[in-house]
């Protein structure tokens, strides 16, 4: 029997994806650079479905039915390039190469062009959900040609997570669109995690609640508007007790947050597109600050003065509720910003991206899956016209209702000295958007003064410059 799909790279992600494909009736050709991994997969899981193991790339390609479709799940960067090259050499025009790794979307755009020139299809496909998702149903964001989607779509739909009866996969757009959207997904994930972290800090350091009490609070929050995978696992992490010391697990973990680059890419790309993704940027910077070991060590020996972080409130429960509301409002802003970035990327790279569909495929399988994504897809699908998600009736009301609590939390945090960069930058963004006049007018004046950069006037069309070093009369450019 010939395989209808192949997987190249059988480390944790690839082998789980191959098993998921086999569980859903696909015949899966499998290949790994070192045959040991292929043998392990066959020995441990070979009886779970139909696999065709291959020792060489040529054997792998010849076991695939046409159009041959292969998903690459190897280390990002040079290994991915090497496998693409090997597959393209062995395949024929019309065949489909899928990169399921976390590739940087400009690389995907470049590779797609090169592979297309050789008559093959190249699909950059973002896959979210980690190991568990790969095995039991990820959320997938494929790019590539419409023609490749005809073959690949049904295969991916067979293994995707299902949310409200719909598979969590859609054809995002051409060339790098899928990896672009996956990148922004990860950026939003950074913001969401940072916001949850700030909430925890306010409750733990600020209110003096125990890890267990906060775990219970997150369990409660997970039943309402904040119902999401990240809030759920936050509660689990906080409930967990370290077996070695009997202390809360969170207290024995070194407080340096790691990162692999997708958050940084999201912010770099947003800077290029001039889209203010402040929540995501602050989340990336906060991870950076946490890992500035030398500076933080220096402060331990030579403290920088400030308040002690204790929040003294009479009604603790009311403050906990205020934090919940601040978290929800800030989260709405972070998602609104993420979707702004997707919209701007689509405009720049000429992708036709259905934002409602993006929200729908994020409802299951992926790390940012959350009930609230239904609200986002409803907003985009409603046909209502808005530039910012914050103008959608539901989100507008949600943020307006939460804003007193949000302001209270941000000002309290500033007063007692607890850092809330994502909460406060999201609030500033909201106020920036609300402002009738911004100090950008003054900045235009400064720019015109030192660099003759010109400015527009509020009362007439045109471009103007003031002769600052002359008689200060105004000239029209």
Catalytic annotation, residues: 182, 189
Q: Find the shortest distance in angstroms from Cβ 283 to ligand NBP.
A: 19
Q: Find the shortest distance in angstroms from Cβ 287 to ligand NBP.
A: 17
The terminus-to-terminus CA distance of the chain in angstroms comes to 73
Closer of 77 and 288 to ligand NBP (Cβ): 77
Residue of 39, 46, 59, 82 that binds ligand NBP (CB under 6 A): 82
Closer of 364 and 421 to ligand NBP (Cβ): 364
295 binds ligand NBP (CB under 6 A): no
Cα maximum dimension of the chain:
87
Pick from 367, 370, 374: nearest CA to 128 = 367
Tokens describing residue 128: 């979210």
Residue of 65, 76, 357, 416 that binds ligand NBP (CB under 6 A): 76
- Residue pair 230/196 in contact by the 8 Å Cβ criterion: yes
Q: Find the shortest distance in angstroms from Cβ 8 to ligand NBP.
A: 8
9 binds ligand NBP (CB under 6 A): yes
The DSSP 8-state label assigned to residue 230 in this structure reads H
Closer of 14 and 178 to ligand NBP (Cβ): 14
| Residue 190 marked as a ligand binder | yes
| Residue 199 marked as a ligand binder | no
| Residue 224 marked as a ligand binder | no
# binding residues, ligand NBP (CB under 6 A): 22
| Residue 287 marked as a ligand binder | yes
Closer of 32 and 264 to ligand NBP (Cβ): 32
Rounded CA separation 49/28 (Å):
9
Rounded CA separation 219/407 (Å):
24
Residue of 55, 75, 296, 348 that binds ligand NBP (CB under 6 A): 75
Rounded CA separation 428/275 (Å):
15
Residue of 7, 83, 90, 123 that binds ligand NBP (CB under 6 A): 83
3-state secondary structure of 87: helix
- Cα distances (angstroms) measured from residue 393 to each of 3, 248, 363, 369, 378: 49, 41, 21, 22, 11
Q: Find the shortest distance in angstroms from Cβ 107 to ligand NBP.
A: 11
Region from 28-36, 55-63, 197-205, 217-225 binding ligand NBP, contact rule CB under 6 A: 28-36
| Residue 435 marked as a ligand binder | no
Q: Name residue 140's beta-bridge partners.
A: 127, 169
Q: In 382-455, where does DSSP find H-type helix?
A: 393-416, 421-434, 440-451
Tokens describing residue 131: 């190991």
338 binds ligand NBP (CB under 6 A): no
Q: Find the shortest distance in angstroms from Cβ 436 to ligand NBP.
A: 44
Q: Find the shortest distance in angstroms from Cβ 233 to ligand NBP.
A: 14
| Residues within window 97-116 making contact with ligand NBP, judged by CB under 6 A | 101-102
Buried b (16+ CB within 10 A) or exposed e, 207-221: bebebeebbebbbeb
Going by DSSP bridges, is the β-strand pair 139-142/121-128 parallel, antiparallel, or unpaired? antiparallel
Tokens describing residue 430: 């909201």
Closer of 261 and 419 to ligand NBP (Cβ): 261
What's the alpha-carbon Rg for the chain, to the nearest Å? 25
List residues binding ligand NBP (CB under 6 A). Answer: 9-14, 32-34, 37, 73-76, 79, 82-83, 101-102, 127, 130-131
Could you tell me which residues are annotated as the binding site for NADP(+)? 9-14, 32-34, 74-76, 102
């Amino acid at each position: 029997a010939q395989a209808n799909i192949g997987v190249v790279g059988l480390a944790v992600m690839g082998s789980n994806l191959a098993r998921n494909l086999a569980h859903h009736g696909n015949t899966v050709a499998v290949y790994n650079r070192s045959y040991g991994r292929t043998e392990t997969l066959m020995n441990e899981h070979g009886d779970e479905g139909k696999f065709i193991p291959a020792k060489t790339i040529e054997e792998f390609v010849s076991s695939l039915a046409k159009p041959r479709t292969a998903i690459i799940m190897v280390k990002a960067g040079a290994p991915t390039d090497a496998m693409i090259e090997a597959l393209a050499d062995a395949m024929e025009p019309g065949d489909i190469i899928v990169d399921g790794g976390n590739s940087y979307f400009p690389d995907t755009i470049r590779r797609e062009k090169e592979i297309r020139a050789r008559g093959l299809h190249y699909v950059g496909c973002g896959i979210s959900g980690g190991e568990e998702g790969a095995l039991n149903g990820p959320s997938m964001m494929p790019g590539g040609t419409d023609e490749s989607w005809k073959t690949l779509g049904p295969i991916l739909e067979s293994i995707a997570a299902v949310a409200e009866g719909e598979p969590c996969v859609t054809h995002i757009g051409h060339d790098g669109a899928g990896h672009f959207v996956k990148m922004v997904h990860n950026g939003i994930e950074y913001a969401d995690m940072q916001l949850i972290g700030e909430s925890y800090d306010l409750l733990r350091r600020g209110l003096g609640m125990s890890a267990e009490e906060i775990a219970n609070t997150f369990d409660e929050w997970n039943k309402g508007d904040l119902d999401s995978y990240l809030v759920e696992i936050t509660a689990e992490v906080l409930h967990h007790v370290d077996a070695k010391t009997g202390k809360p697990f969170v207290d024995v973990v070194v407080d340096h947050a790691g990162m692999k680059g997708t958050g940084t890419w999201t912010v770099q790309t947003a800077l290029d597109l001039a889209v203010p993704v402040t929540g995501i940027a602050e989340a990336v910077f906060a991870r950076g600050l946490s890992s500035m070991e030398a500076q933080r060590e220096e402060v331990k020996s030579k403290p920088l003065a400030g308040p002690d972080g204790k929040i003294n409130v009479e009604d603790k429960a009311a403050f906990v509720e205020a934090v919940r509301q601040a978290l929800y409002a800030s989260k709405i802003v972070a998602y609104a910003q993420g979707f702004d970035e997707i919209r701007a990327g689509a405009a720049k790279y000429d992708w036709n991206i259905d934002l409602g569909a993006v929200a729908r495929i994020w409802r299951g399988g992926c790390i940012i899956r959350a009930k609230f994504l239904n609200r986002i897809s409803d907003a985009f699908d409603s046909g209502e016209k808005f530039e910012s998600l914050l103008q959608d009736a539901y989100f507008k009301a949600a943020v307006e209702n939460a804003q007193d609590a949000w302001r209270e939390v941000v000002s309290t945090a500033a007063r007692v000295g607890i850092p809330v960069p994502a909460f406060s930058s999201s609030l500033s963004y909201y106020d920036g958007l609300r402002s009738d006049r911004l100090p950008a007018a003054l900045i235009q004046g400064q720019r015109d003064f030192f660099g003759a950069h010109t400015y527009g006037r509020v009362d007439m069309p045109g471009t103007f410059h003031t002769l600052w070093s002359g008689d200060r009369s105004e000239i029209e450019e």
